[in-house]
Structure 1
Amino acid sequence: MAKKEKTIFVCQNCGYESPKWMGQCVCGKWNTMVEEKVVSISQYKKSPTITSSTKPLPIKEIKSGSYDRFDTHIEELNRVLGGGLVKGSLTLISGEPGIGKSTLILQASSIIAKEYGIVLYVSGEESEEQIKMRAERLNAIEDRLMIVSETNVDVIKEYINQLNPVLVIIDSIQTLFKPDLSSAPGSVSQVRECTNQIMYTAKTRDIPIFIVAHVTKTGELAGPRILEHLVDTVLHFTGERTQEFRVIRALKNRFGTTSEIGVFEMKEEGLVEVSNPSEIFLEGLTDTEGAIVISSLEGTRPLLLEVQALVAPTNLGFARRASIGIDINRLNLILAVLEKKVGVPLMNQDVYVNVVGGLKPEGTSSDLGVALAIYSSMRGLSIHTTTTIAIGEIGLTGELRPVSNIEKMIKEAGKMGFKKCILPKKSTKKIQLNESIQLVGANSLKEAIDYMFFEN
């Protein structure tokens, strides 16, 4: 009698394993348990073979990887990666379909093929002809850029051994499979095992590998959460397909900071770098009510953004608060301070706030600008949007609190032609600027409102 194969049930969302099927996993998701065969681990019981590549070395003799990088010649991508593509690194890039993931890595791979050597582009979703058509449109045709349509991870490893490329692109990880596993491509066990195989190849052969991954409808990375833990760097593309601008951000980076962003503009010839994002985000700026310019520090680069607010009477019986770009909890805090400390009646008013361009500013430096925009819309008072910028954090008592690196933000505002900056009074004593921009300090939100709307 044949021996029955042992199986387990694995959650496709979190990777939880159970001997029996469960309707709801421990992560809270329903109907995500899939039956998978248990792979024998007898092959791992053999005595390990010690090779010279795994010989322990003194830490002083180990070469630092901080200077061993490939220059992609795409400055915005280099900025997010921390200075370039580290050899032997495993980089995951995710984003919604059509956002520009394949376009960016194809542009980068053609440059690296031209500068450094053979690049292997493995596609599990598109044919070689489709990739060739995109490469012609992007002017990314290089002799040393090798294209193959393959999903078997063992075959891909053999191609890497034969070609010995300087860079490998996997598009996408959800299409790969290992024949030893009975589960379908994209399952937890397949994604985990294929990623482990690719990571081992990257580390042992010192080859940087780019992995493209899908996202869910909610914008989260599809597949098991272990995928994010295995890779060295996680890059995420954001932006609307109907808009031209794309923002790439590092959610995880073992070789650099995670606070930097890269800004691109989608054109017919591909993704074009935006070296001065503030100028792009402030296009079409006019003096009007409910709009003001704020500043946010993204990594080492200050950005100027336009925030718009609309306050309208409630018709549904309860006030609605909606926000794009500003954290909704932060918005509720600002509204509470406006109502309690300034006396603005917002209980029966719908409030809508939007950061133009789709970018989400980091930190609390946008608090003052959001509050002034809401007050402007509520009272119907115009703001000198083209000449005035507001920077500052709002406390629960209504006071204005300083924010870090405010001097960099004001310098950027001066370069962009702004004439006046409203900021916390405590910050004015520490700032030494040569720009011809007037600094207006305020101790509280009420003082800032009085100056903005009633003293000019």
Structure 2
Amino acid sequence: MAKKKTKFMCQSCGYESPKWMGRCPGCNQWNQMVEEVSITGTPKRTFMHSETTVSTKPAKLSAVETVQEPRVTTDLKEFNRVLGGGVVPGSLVLIGGDPGIGKSTLLLQVSSQLSAKASKVLYISGEESIKQTKLRADRLAVKDDNLFIYSETNLQLIHSAIEELAPSFVIIDSIQTVYHPEVTSAPGSVSQVRECTAELMRIAKMNGIAIFIVGHVTKEGSIAGPRLLEHMVDTVLYFEGERHHTYRILRAVKNRFGSTNEMGIFEMKEDGLEEVANPSEIFLEERSQGTSGSTVVASMEGTRPVLVEIQALISPTVFGNPRRMATGIDHNRVTLLMAVLEKRVGLLLQNQDAYLKVAGGVKLDEPAIDLAIAVSIASSFRDQPTNPTDCIIGEVGLTGEVRRVSRIEQRVSEAAKLGFTRIIIPSNNLGGWKVPEGVELAAVSTVNEALKIIFGK
């Protein structure tokens, strides 16, 4: 006869312990150990290793035949871009984001577009009733006979519905509300999320069904549940943005079928999400003219160049240690560039507070933005505005040199398209490509050269 025992499991990383601990040894998080009931004596069936109908044997790598993964595209080109070209059949995609950001709206629109391609789509909502989902569908003008709505949280019933309907695409909203009756812990716990995701992955791989699951996020911004959840799925997408602003950013942090550097921009409107074809215009439309501390850089987001504004505010500190704050840029990169400016250029920044921000809520992490950050800091420190038609591109080394960047032709073409007439680039990037008409290139090899060209001294 099975015996019931209790164990304590970390809700952050899944670490198990026979006794309660205030701090988890696995992830060092406090107050994450929750008591759960485990059954011993009778071996519990694990859903990951449930019976399969296909027998597989080890095969030689050279004898394996491969074909190009077929993809199903939607009408949202930005969504297709982030996924790597479209939806791969049999894939398991996890979408996370803050509450109210528009995850359900995005997936309902995607469901409508996929069902319009003569494919059955099953939208399973564990948070809304069928009537509530229908009201939202009416607001988004979603009407299609191939789109089926199901309100259920029991995974066994969900599995039965998938077998009966045999859809090509399934949406689970959300994974934290789904539970398996054989798992004794509460819905949303580590055990439930892990086992339910494993079962959904088995369904996706065996039947070739593309499954999208919505994941809640914690107050720190990471997807709730164990990190194992992100390792199990094929693709992890984050839907970001401010609830009180209309623009949303969809980015991939893991993608087995495409690049993780892609970014999709959407605008939330009354009738749903609309893709933004030219995000550079959006990021620069509210740029103020004639103010110091503002520069524009052409950054690459995957295969697409995006022009964004970098703002800096340098002011004398009133504390013993000056503050360094950055939004959208790595804090360590700002500290490094300020040290380069102080050592190589001679700017006395050790008694100055520094606040930097990327306008529009974009996060930049490529080295080509270094020179623009340095120029923004110098512009605010000297209180000298930069030329509004200048675009600055380049990586900065510790000796103050400006280093070569990749895809310079695409960056310059995007800047020329938006009316920038002078572009500061690394000298090593000159030659071998066509310069757009009406664009003046200023090649620099050091930060000092760049500051002399921009400020005239």
Q: Give the CA deviation at 1:52.
A: 4.4
1:156-175 map, 5 Å: 156-175=158-177
Question: In the alignment, which residue of structure 1 is the partner of 2:36?
Answer: 36
Question: In the alignment, which residue of structure 1 is the partner of 2:446?
Answer: 444
How many corresponding residue pairs?
450
Please list the CA deviations of residues 195-252 of structure 1 after superposition, one character each: whole Å capped at 9, or x if unmatched.
Answer: 1111111111111000000111111111011101111110111111121111111111
Q: Give the CA deviation at 1:50.
A: 7.1
1:203-352 map, 5 Å: 203-285=205-287, 286-352=289-355
**CA distance in structure 1 between the partners assigned to 2:176 and 2:125 by the alignment:** 11
Question: In the alignment, which residue of structure 2 is the partner of 1:88?
Answer: 90
**CA distance in structure 2 between the partners assigned to 1:52 and 1:322 by the alignment:** 55
* 8 Å contact from structure 2 (residues 123, 171) kept in 1: yes
**Identity %, equivalent residues:** 52
The letter of the residue matching 1:226 is L
* 8 Å contact from structure 1 (residues 116, 166) kept in 2: no
* 8 Å contact from structure 1 (residues 298, 362) kept in 2: no
**CA distance in structure 2 between the partners assigned to 1:238 and 1:301 by the alignment:** 19
Q: Give the CA deviation at 1:431.
A: 4.2
Question: In the alignment, which residue of structure 1 is the partner of 2:9?
Answer: 10
Question: In the alignment, which residue of structure 2 is the partner of 1:427?
Answer: 429
**CA distance in structure 2 between the partners assigned to 1:301 and 1:42 by the alignment:** 49
**CA distance in structure 2 between the partners assigned to 1:49 and 1:95 by the alignment:** 34
* 8 Å contact from structure 1 (residues 65, 86) kept in 2: no
User: Would the alpha carbon gap of residues 436 and 157 (structure 1) be closer, same or farther in structure 2, given more than 3 Å must change?
Assistant: same
Please list the CA deviations of residues 57-92 of structure 1 after superposition, one character each: whole Å capped at 9, or x if unmatched.
Answer: 7876756352x2221121000001111111111000
Q: Give the CA deviation at 1:378.
A: 1.2
Aligned pair 1:153/2:152, yes or no?
no
Please list the CA deviations of residues 255-274 of structure 1 after superposition, one character each: whole Å capped at 9, or x if unmatched.
Answer: 11111111111111111101
* 8 Å contact from structure 1 (residues 311, 378) kept in 2: yes
The letter of the residue matching 2:372 is G
Gaps of 5+ in 2: none
**CA distance in structure 1 between the partners assigned to 2:399 and 2:30 by the alignment:** 44
The letter of the residue matching 1:187 is S
Please list the CA deviations of residues 408-456 of structure 1 after superposition, one character each: whole Å capped at 9, or x if unmatched.
Answer: 111111111111011222222444324321111112111111111116x
**CA distance in structure 2 between the partners assigned to 1:343 and 1:418 by the alignment:** 29
Please list the CA deviations of residues 352-409 of structure 1 after superposition, one character each: whole Å capped at 9, or x if unmatched.
Answer: 1111101012311111111111111111112112x10000111111111111112211
**CA distance in structure 1 between the partners assigned to 2:431 and 2:119 by the alignment:** 54
Please list the CA deviations of residues 326-347 of structure 1 after superposition, one character each: whole Å capped at 9, or x if unmatched.
Answer: 1110000111111111111112
* 8 Å contact from structure 2 (residues 126, 153) kept in 1: yes
* 8 Å contact from structure 2 (residues 38, 184) kept in 1: no
**CA distance in structure 1 between the partners assigned to 2:168 and 2:252 by the alignment:** 23
**CA distance in structure 2 between the partners assigned to 1:63 and 1:171 by the alignment:** 33
**CA distance in structure 1 between the partners assigned to 2:260 and 2:449 by the alignment:** 36
1:353-368 map, 5 Å: 353-368=356-371
**Aligned partner (choices 111, 114, 126) of residue 113 of structure 2:** 111
**Aligned partner (choices 118, 122, 125) of residue 123 of structure 1:** 125
Q: Give the CA deviation at 1:95.
A: 0.6
Q: Give the CA deviation at 1:8.
A: 2.6
The letter of the residue matching 1:340 is K
**CA distance in structure 1 between the partners assigned to 2:329 and 2:221 by the alignment:** 17
The letter of the residue matching 1:384 is N
**CA distance in structure 1 between the partners assigned to 2:44 and 2:426 by the alignment:** 66
The letter of the residue matching 2:362 is L
**CA distance in structure 1 between the partners assigned to 2:392 and 2:50 by the alignment:** 63
User: Would the alpha carbon gap of residues 145 and 56 (structure 1) be closer, same or farther in structure 2, given more than 3 Å must change?
Assistant: farther
**TM-score normalised over the length of structure 2:** 0.94
**TM-score normalised over the length of structure 1:** 0.94
The letter of the residue matching 2:203 is T
SS class of match (1:221) = coil
CA RMSD of aligned residues (A): 2.0
SS class of match (2:367) = coil
SS class of match (1:279) = helix
**CA distance in structure 1 between the partners assigned to 2:206 and 2:258 by the alignment:** 22
* 8 Å contact from structure 1 (residues 69, 85) kept in 2: yes
User: Would the alpha carbon gap of residues 51 and 216 (structure 1) be closer, same or farther in structure 2, given more than 3 Å must change?
Assistant: closer
The letter of the residue matching 1:219 is G
Gaps of 5+ in 1: none
1:358-397 map, 5 Å: 358-385=361-388, 387-397=389-399
**CA distance in structure 2 between the partners assigned to 1:441 and 1:63 by the alignment:** 46
Aligned pair 1:199/2:198, yes or no?
no
The letter of the residue matching 2:365 is E
**CA distance in structure 2 between the partners assigned to 1:237 and 1:19 by the alignment:** 37
